[in-house]
Structure 1
Amino acid sequence: MNAEFHYHITWLIAARAGLPPEDTRIVAHSSQYTDDNDSIFEIDKDLPTAYGNYISQTMNILKPMDKLLRIYSLFHFIPGDPMTSSAWRKDGGMHWLNTTPDSENANLVMDAALASCNVYRIGIACHGYADTWAHQNFVGYHSEFNAMTGPFSAAIPNIGHAEAGHDPDRAALVWEDTRLIHERIDNKVRFLEAAGCMLRKFAKYVDPKITKKELRKRETTMKDDLDHCIGGQDQANAHESRRIARYRKLSRAPEYGGRELEEYDAHRWMDEAVNEKVRGLRDRSDLFLARFDPLTDLYTWKDRESYKQTHWHRFQEAVKQHQNETWQILADRNFQGLELPKL
């Protein structure tokens, strides 16, 4: 999934579930920022207020870094049930790290985040939870299990859905996964199922006493609304801007909070927290220009007294919490007994 789901649709789901406006904004931003948090920073280096972050994604999802493989299974490819029917392959292959939709592991991760009542962590967790639909039948590790047939497949690393390109992430795309017994994949169907499950979790979080009747009503009407917004098949992703315009219009409806969906800015939270604004070149040590810029990696807090209250710091702390707790969940389950040196 990309920002269309992780930000725009997640915003609508959270709002329809009844989250307060500010919580809705933080959850949606955290969900998408999980993909954009791809650089390591040192703030106030060598000072008492020094801080370093963890990343939750690599800079190019189609060119993953195998030395950081653990982030894929923790944030984007949560291992599920390799025996489930949606994972049946023509070659009979199975993998213990295979991502499967709405798996028990993904639910444990999501429920742990909800129990924390930390909206940043909830946003991070719902990113991985939603991706169990989009990324199903891929593993967040280097494996032939991920291999697709195609003229350029040999040149692309078999990590995640790199060989499938952006096909699994586009809301209105219909494509074929030729590895599977059931080849035809309709992303719209997958995305609507994910949205419905997320709504149920959010709504119960907001109101634990919500009735089954009200829950069904909200889920049905929201999925109908999103079905209309996504619209028809769009193989070239040419109508994404039209879909986003429809999401924004829907966000103004009273049942979706009556507040227009804000434009997403991946740099906003860090710009609010630090003095330096080097958009697109932060800690890009692998970029040509960065090699000649001695100031590229120097960042300082705007307010050393209250930096821990900034959105960026809170999000980064939530990333660390999510990584630690998700690792513990999986260590006793799908990771148990595995000997994978780069995990």
Structure 2
Amino acid sequence: MNIDFHYGVIYIVARIGGMTPSQALTVAHACQYVDDATTSGILRFHGGETFERFATAHKMFDYANTVSDQNRLVWAPFHFLPAGQGETLEEKAVCRADSAVAREVVRRAIRQRDTETGLHRLGVTLHTYVDTWAHQGFAGIESPGNRVHSLEAQDCTPMGWLANLTLAMQHLIQHVEEDVLTLALPVGHGAALHYPDQPWAKWHYIDGRNMLVKRHNLPEFVQAAEMACRAVRAYVAGREDFENEEGMPANVKEALTELLDTNRIMDDNQRLRAICEVIKTGGIPGLKEPIPDYVPKGIGSWKYKATGLRSDDDTGDKPLWTEAFEKSDYRLFHDAVKEHRFVTTQEVLPAYGLRIA
């Protein structure tokens, strides 16, 4: 899923689920920041203080991650949560929508609701949880099962001859990309291109097990939003059995379904802007308010507010450590990431017979 879902839709379900605007913003920002926190290692302060961070995503075009053990610590616990089903490691590592593992990880986050990192931890966890719908069938480890062949998408929009010719050329290029990426990117859904993350997409492909896989993202994305809303309600209520909570009201679910289906702008940041405009003008029943812009890097970002650093790689003068850093969203997010990764890789997954870190 992209920023339109992780930030926009998660904000909607957080508000519908009973959170204040401030709480919903923290959860939505943390949810999206999982895709943008690409700097790992020790943050060094001017006075000698240090703070450890884990990257939750790889920088674009960082192809080294496809052959590094580090991908297991990034893709599996944050983007392709293993379902723990099957006999072999490769079978157990496959991500499945709303798996028992995923629900347990959500319960663990709800259990930490009264801690200082509670909201940030929920945001990180919801990123992982909703991604199980988008990334189902793929694994966050190197696996032949991630191979994609004969990738096709259904387009029901009537087109003229020129548009059809253009589409035919795009399909030709796409198949070349598909074959190259299948070999170059054995981790995750890289060879499936952008289709797993488009809310409206209908697509199919032959997987690495030579099985035909048919996908229709819209009902799956709506179900992901429904379950995320239940998780928020449970978090607010202090209950771990979130699957038994009420989801979105029928009119909200209908409006969100329509929005995800018709908001077909290819650029996900523009899709987010469209979602924010709908929320601002009252297009979601019971919700009419502006949403602050999401700033991933540089001035205005969580990192900048906490440290004054503008660069991804911490270049520049070392920041001064202050008490404000300890209370910052940046520090709370990274500590929530550490908690999530430890619980997922060291407690939950081993309980399902899977050791990947």
Shared fold per TM-score greater than 0.5: yes
**Residue 19 of structure 2: aligned partner:** 19
CA displacement 1:80-128 (0-9 Å, x = unmatched): 1546xxxxxxxxx971111001011001111111110100000000000
Displacement of 1:72 in angstroms is 1.3
CA contact (8 A) 1:148 1:164 kept: yes
Q: In the alignment, what sits opposite 1:144?
A: 144
- Which residues in structure 2 correspond to 1:32-71 (within 5 Å)? 32-40=32-40, 42-45=42-45, 47-60=47-60, 63=63, 64-65=65-66, 66-69=68-71, 70-71=73-74
2:289 matched residue in structure 1 = 259
- Paired with 1:213 and 1:55, the residues of 2 have a C-alpha distance of 33
Moved more, 94-103 or 130-139: 94-103
Alignment gaps of 5+ in structure 1: 84-92, 284-294
Aligned to 1:271: 304
Relative to its length, the structure with more strand (as a share) is 2
RMSD: 3.0
Structure 1 partner of 2:203? 175
- The aligned residue for residue 333 of structure 1 is 352
Residue from 91, 106, 119 that aligns with 1:95: 91
Q: Which digits, 9 at most, give the CA deviation of each residue in 1:36-79, with x for residues without a partner?
A: 00112543347342212111111128844423122211111111
Q: What displacement does 1:306 show?
A: 2.5
The partner residue of 1:206 within 230, 236, 246 is: 236
**Letter aligned with residue 44 of structure 1:** R
Q: Secondary structure at the match of 1:175?
A: strand
CA pair 178-50 structure 1, distance change in 2 beyond 3 A = same
What is the aligned counterpart of 2:334 among 301, 316, 329?
A: 316
User: Residue in 1 aligned with 2:266?
Assistant: 237
1:77 aligns with 2:95: no
Question: 1:185 maps to which residue?
Answer: 215
The one-letter amino acid of 2:121's match is: R
Give the Cα separation in 1 of the matches to 2:194 and 2:132. Answer: 15
Moved more, 121-130 or 60-69: 60-69
Which letter maps to 1:30?
A: A
Question: Residues 154 and 111 (structure 1 numbering): CA distance in 2 closer, same or farther, change over 3 Å?
Answer: closer
**What is aligned with 2:246?**
215
TM-score (norm 2): 0.78
- The aligned counterpart of 1:159 is 187
May I ask how many residue pairs the two structures share in their alignment? 312
Paired residues of 1:176 and 1:184 also in contact (CA < 8 A)? yes
CA 25–79 in structure 1, closer or farther in 2 if over 3 Å, else same: same
Q: For residues 24 and 57 of structure 1, do their structure 2 counterparts lie closer, same or farther at Cα, with a shift above 3 Å needed? A: same
- Structure 2 unaligned runs (5+)? 150-177
| Percent of pairs with identical residues | 23
- Comparing 61-70 and 51-60, the one that deviates more: 61-70
**Alignment CA distance shift 1:201-1:238 (3 Å):** closer
Change (3 A) 1:114 1:161: same
